[in-house]
Chain A
Amino acid sequence: MSRLGPLFDQLRAENRRAVIPYLVAGDPDEALTVPLMHSLVEAGADIIEVGVPFSDPMSEGPTIQKGHERALEGGTSLLSTLSLVKQFRETNAYTPLVLMGYANPLERKGYAAVADACAEAGIDGLITVDLPPEEVTAMNAELRRQKIDNIFLISPTTSDARITTITAQASGFIYYVALKGVTGAGHLDTDAVEAHLETIRQHTSLPVAVGFGIKDADTAATLARCADAVVVGSALVELVANDLGTDGSYDSAISGAHSLISSIRNGVNLATSN
């Protein structure tokens, strides 16, 4: 049973917004992933998006592409990502976890097997960048069987008619892609995002998260006024890559990630407290 619905119900009741950090599983090394996830929760993350490394991450900007490459060099796969999730779940049974990735690793294992393995590991939802509603029917049936949410992207180019098609199949939350571009791009227009979110809300009561291009607490705070959740990906992936200690220790990467997510948490809280 997905933890996403109950979490968003609670957040709404408390007039709070979710902070969703994104990391690439196994970047740069599987030893970092689980401690990093716990640290993100401690810093105020409500949900964690776990990127599944893929050889051809077509929607990612250079920062996250490099994260995928580092993780693949270390041998991280869909199955080892799910092992990391299981380890995280040994001491955290409550934070919703969402897998974000591409269709081919899922196709290779088979949708039914993926849904079973995700349920067993404690995954709450999936975002599959290249499975739009036109291609998702088979996958969605398997996810529903395991009560895992399928989270769809809506973009600035999505027509009203398509929003209806998408929201009819979506559950958990909607992921609004804040700009035309790849992850980590630098041309976010917060006014345009606000207008699009109003349109989306005319079609669905699902919570709406906003991602792509959110780099700091100020942008997160601005978007938290209109969104139910903000996703921070490239900024976190870049920070972790830059803070890797030369002594093989991950302490500074973990503390750097902690302070980034804390500051975004505070920014988001301030923006919604009045």
Chain B
Amino acid sequence: MTIDIKPDLYAQVPDEHGRFGIYGGKFVAETLMSALAELESLYNDLKDDPAFLREFDLDLTHYVGRPSPLYEAARWSDKIGGGRIYLKREDLNHTGAHKVNNTIGQALLAKYMGKKRVIAETGAGQHGVASATVAARLGLECHVFMGEEDIKRQALNVYRMKLLGAEVIPVTSGSKTLKDAMNEALRDWVTNVDNTFYIIGTVAGPHPYPMLVRDFQSVIGREARVQSLNMTGKLPDALVACVGGGSNAIGLFHPFLSDNKVAMYGVEAGGKGVETGEHAAPLSAGIPGVLHGNRTYLMQDENGQIMHTHSVSAGLDYPGVGPEHAWLKDIGRVNYVDATDAEALAAFHRVTRVEGIIPALETAHALAYAEKLAAEMVPDQHIIVNLSGRGDKDILTVAEIDGIDLGIS
């Protein structure tokens, strides 16, 4: 489905109620409404404030190491033999993923609000690490909620957070993954709302989070746009990014939305195959509903219970998705596709061996789809893939899948 879209449409969402079409909103308990209103009002004051933006930019430059390079994966592209693939190297950011762009921004907001305690939820641990990092730097108390299952599969990131001085709180309710970590973070926030800033890690949650996380992550797409023009003399033919909650994808896509000729592909976690039901692909196989403060596509049963998800990558293992993605799907601007665990693992190994870049398993889903897409293109076309994070954290998982005992547990 496509409709004729006015270019400025994308600047008009979310509306004043935080809605992207029918999606988004503020579906939270009354106790949190005043905190959301306070955050929204502060952000509206700051988002165009030159001093705030300069502070954010300086941190991105000197602490994160931006701009991240746009790199032509020449050898990999040659092997595929179709369109050229460029990688937006968010893995080279401080802490190793795009997540830090957002935590830098939200930590600044916490500072402006005078909050001394921050909390965060995390799946793969990248957002937890990025939150613990900015908390250490600003001297804030930091508590990270993480599902017990994810703590097992992301032991390295758990220890990184502890080294950084954060407390990692295991979440044992429900499916013991990212969804439940977010429930627990919301419960903490409702209890400690006076002194606590909740650093949400993705473009989900209640308004204004999907908007402000998008704005902080859009630096990815703004840079990529300029870099593409400088390196190739034109805009890319396609953008590809993995989608769990969808923050790295929206960050890359957003500055290109009005460029109608740039095709966009959000790659969800197909798990064992969307047809098996064991996946984490709500845009491919979900139904709109309400969870974690917003209306969006959800994996849910006929009674409205949220279903368990499956993905080899902890960061994509989430039954919902940011509301702006739900809207972009419905209006037909972005194509949402999926890559299975097996496809992602194959791409993980291929890019590691061919380009010398070990990608995160989340990112590997985008790489798997980009490979298919490039094969259908001609060499004067090019794709930008968001290389959203590095894969060091996933090495134990990959070794285990490949049946290799590293002698550490």
User: Which residues from chain A sit less than 8 Å from chain B, CB to CB?
Assistant: 54-59, 61-62, 65, 69, 72, 77-79, 102-109, 129-132, 134-135, 152-159, 162, 166, 177, 180-182, 185
Using Cβ atoms and an 8 Å threshold, which residues of chain A touch B192?
Answer: 180
Nearest first, the 5 A-B pairs at minimum CB distance are: A108-B304, A105-B304, A77-B303, A155-B31, A181-B191
Q: Looking at the complex, which one of A57, A72, A162 makes contact with B34 (CB distance below 8 Å)?
A: A162
The verdict on B73 contacting chain A, using a C-beta distance below 8 Å, is no
Residues of A within 8 A of B174 (CB): 55-56, 69
- Output the nearest chain B residue to A153 by Cβ-Cβ distance: B30
With A78-B303, A132-B26, A134-B26 as known contacts, state yes or no: A104 contacts B31, CB within 8 Å: no
State whether B186 touches A135 (Cβ < 8 A). no
**Assembly CA distance A55 to B175 (angstroms):** 10
Which of B29, B31, B305 is close to A156, meaning CB atoms less than 8 Å apart?
B31
Q: Which residues of B contact A166 (CB under 8 A)?
A: 30
Interchain CB contact (< 8 A) of A72 among B180, B295, B305: B305
For A65, give the chain B residue with the smallest CB separation.
B173
Bound-state Cα–Cα, A132 to B28, Å: 7
Contacting pair B190 A130 (CB below 8 A): no
**A104 contact from B32, B34, B304, Cβ within 8 A:** B304
B173 to chain A: closest residue by CB: A65
With a CB–CB cut-off of 8 A, which chain B residues contact A157? 30-35, 193
Q: How far is the CB of B34 from chain A (nearest CB, A)?
A: 4
Is B291 in contact with A104, judged by CB distance below 8 angstroms? yes
Q: Do A158 and B30 touch across chains, with their CB atoms under 8 A apart?
A: yes
Which among A55, A134, A155, A159 has the greatest number of chain B C-beta atoms within 10 A?
A: A55
Q: Which of B30, B34, B174 has the most CB of A within 10 A?
A: B30
Residues of A within 8 A of B288 (CB): 107
| Contact between chains at B173 and A152 (CB < 8 Å) | no
Per the bound structure, the CA–CA distance linking A182 and B188 in Å amounts to 8
A103 / chain B contacts, CB cutoff of 8 Å: 27, 290
Whether B300 contacts A108 by the Cβ 8 Å rule is yes
Does B290 contact A104, Cβ atoms closer than 8 Å? yes
Q: How many Å from the CB of B397 to the closest CB on chain A?
A: 26
B194 at the interface (CB under 8 A from A): yes
Q: Which residue of A lies closest to B29 (CB)?
A: A59
Known: A107-B290, A158-B34, A180-B191. A58 touches B29 (CB 8 A): yes
Task: Tell me how far the C-beta of A117 lies from the nearest C-beta in chain B, rounded to whole angstroms.
Answer: 13
Known: A55-B306, A58-B183. A159 touches B34 (CB 8 A): yes
Residues of B within 8 Å of A77, CB to CB, are 303, 305
- Does the CB pair B29–A104 fall under 8 Å? no
Task: Provide the bound-state CA to CA distance between A134 and B291, in Å.
Answer: 16
B277 interface residue per 8 A CB criterion: no
Contacting A at CB under 8 A, from B134-190, are 173-174, 179-180, 183, 186-187, 190
Contacts of A102 in B (CB 8 A): 290
Q: Assuming A58-B29, A166-B30, what are 18 further A-B pairs, CB within 8 angstroms?
A: A54-B305, A56-B179, A56-B306, A78-B303, A105-B304, A108-B289, A108-B304, A130-B293, A132-B29, A153-B31, A155-B29, A156-B31, A157-B31, A159-B34, A177-B30, A177-B31, A180-B190, A180-B194
Return A99 CB to nearest CB of chain B, in Å.
13
Asked if B302 CB lies within 8 Å of chain A CBs, one says: yes
B372 at the interface (CB under 8 A from A): no
Task: Name the residue on A nearest B33 (C-beta).
Answer: A132
- By beta carbon, the residue of chain A nearest B25 is A135
In the complex, what distance in Å separates the CA atom of A170 from the CA atom of B300? 30
Q: Is B298 an interface residue (CB 8 A)?
A: yes
Interface status of B17 (Cβ within 8 A of chain A): yes
CA distance A14 to B183 in the complex (A): 42
- B304 touches which of A106, A134, A155, A158 (Cβ 8 Å): A106
- Closest B residue, CB atoms, query A129: B29
Please, could you name 24 A-B residue pairs with CB atoms under 8 Å apart, sorted by A?
A54-B305, A55-B174, A55-B305, A55-B306, A59-B187, A59-B190, A61-B187, A65-B173, A69-B173, A77-B305, A78-B304, A105-B305, A108-B300, A130-B290, A134-B17, A153-B29, A153-B30, A155-B30, A155-B31, A156-B31, A157-B33, A157-B193, A181-B191, A185-B191
A-chain residues with CB within 8 Å of residue B29 when the two chains form the complex? 58-59, 129-130, 132, 153, 155, 177
